[in-house]
Amino acid sequence: MLTYYQPLLHSLVNTHLERWLMQLPEQITSGLCEQRYGDLATWRQALGALPNTIVSYIDLKNTVTIGQRTDCNPESLAQLEQCLKTLIPWRKGPINIHGICIDTEWHSDWKWQRVLPHIAPLANRQILDVGCGNGYYCLRSYGEGAQRVIGIDPSPRFIVQFYMMKHFLGDIPVDVLPLGIESLPEHLQAFDSTFSMGVLYHRRSPMDHLKELKATLQPGGQLILETLLIDGKRGDTLVPEGRYAMMNNVWFIPSADTLISWLRKCGFKNPRLVDLNQTSTKEQRQTEWMRFHSLAEFLDPKDNRKTMEGHPAPLRGVFLAEA
């Protein structure tokens, strides 16, 4: 799949990101190695089988809508739907491609509506989205006028999902790389805005993650961070000994004041909480495009204020800070 990245690689020459070019092709090849990921060959076949269509309409500012149903004949639509369903589960969205509505697990559009009013305008900015999944927020950032958007996520499924969308969008300056943040060059200082949405609680060392995020930003650049929280005072942090909401890779869930303190300690300026939201079973749920258990199954059936393990139910906060 390295050919998908050639426009990106060429665009990095003579930029702040040029020194990354020494490592990036090998990182991409390693991150999309079929010997490491047994299902990747099937997903790539589905990507290669997408029909070539006329795309008469694109909206990435208000939604992720690509094309209209009338752009395709019935045979192409059926082929498209079959290819898209090969990549189930779809988690971030919703996404509409030629009238096929991918009703994803998350109503990511609701989260975007909560985040967007608070952040620095994205027009003409270089954007990084860490743990971006299928690139939904990358596309929404481009819809806001971003100059270049790079998402990183180590899951090959999400990479292929993104390039299924980009197949119909053409050569826009948005790419998703099969990497984790630890694969970025140190002290990159190349981005105007860095997103970390729903990643911090999956990191064994949240302080290291915050420092890694800071290193991606140009001086004055903005961090947009969304994470799980608990109610509490500064210093309070939940460290689940077992699972949290059936997830086995949740390490630290701080209070808002604790996270603000962590951000200050890591050298960020003016850290602040701009949105607090109790996750509902309407925002995160099982759908035709995500057929596995979701939030409703992760909560205590007798008390939805608690997870199955007895922890506080998911509360999510959005934080901003500057480098």
Mean pLDDT of 171-188: 96
pLDDT tens sequence across 118-129: 999 999 999 999
Dihedral angle computed from the Cα positions of residues 45, 47, 49 and 54, in that order, rounded to the nearest 10 degrees: -170
Mean pLDDT of the chain: 97
The pLDDT value given to residue 81: 98
The pLDDT value given to residue 282: 98
Residue ranges of the annotated binding site are 92, 106, 111, 131, 153-155, 181-182, 197, 201, 316
Q: Edge-to-edge strand order for the sheet containing 95-97?
A: 58-59, 65-66, 95-97, 100-102
Mean pLDDT of 196-210: 97
The pLDDT value given to residue 251: 97
| % of the chain exceeding 70 in pLDDT | 100
CB-based contacts of 140, cutoff 8 Å, min separation 6: 60, 61, 64, 112
23-27, 33-37, 219-223: range with lowest mean pLDDT? 33-37
Extract the tokens encoding 2. 């390295």
- Confidence category of residue 275, pLDDT binned at 50, 70, 90: very high
Dihedral angle computed from the Cα positions of residues 264, 267, 271 and 276, in that order, rounded to the nearest 10 degrees: -80
Q: Are 111 and 279 in contact (CB under 8 A)?
A: no
Q: Which domains does the chain have, with CATH numbers?
A: 2-322 (3.40.50.150)
pLDDT tens sequence across 85-116: 999 999 999 999 999 999 999 999 999 999 99
pLDDT tens sequence across 41-93: 999 999 999 999 999 999 999 999 999 999 999 999 999 999 999 999 999 99
**Whether the predicted pLDDT of 16 surpasses 90:** no
Residue ranges of the annotated binding site for carboxy-S-adenosyl-L-methionine are 92, 106, 111, 131, 153-155, 181-182, 197, 201, 316
